[in-house]
Amino acid sequence: MATLIYDEMELFFVCMSSGAMLAMVYDLVRILRLFFRHRDWVVDVEDLLFWIMTAWIVFRMLFAYNQGILRAYAFLGLLLGFLVYAFTLSKLLLFTAYKIVPYWKRGMKYVKKPFAFLLRWARKGLKNILTQVKMAIKSR
């Protein structure tokens, strides 16, 4: 009987840590969205993939620890792990990210300038080549 209780306690703590881990992964996705501009449909796809991954992780965890039996305390552990993370480390992580983002964007302007120049130069050269090819085709 004691082993059964310890197994259930282990499942509860694994669910708590999984809830915190899943919340951290979603925070990292949110931080990625801060650093790089996303279109709306890309955000939707990212969210869909995150929730599919979350469902798969929860299913595998419940299957590995509890033979796939759904228990309310497992979902309570997921929720509690998420809430503990959301009210502690998440705030610190997002605060830090919001402080870094303006410097990142300012630095990216300097990184993008040479590439933008090279892109314009390559586009101009390709346009000249295309014009010459069109003229050669018309002259035939």
pLDDT means per 10 residues, the chain with 140 residues, are: 79 92 94 88 93 93 83 92 94 91 81 77 82 82
Q: CA-based angle 82:61:30, to the nearest 5?
A: 35
Distance between CA 105 and CA 108 in Å, rounded? 5
* pLDDT score recorded for residue 19: 94
* pLDDT score recorded for residue 1: 64
Residue 70 structure tokens: 């759904």
* pLDDT score recorded for residue 46: 92
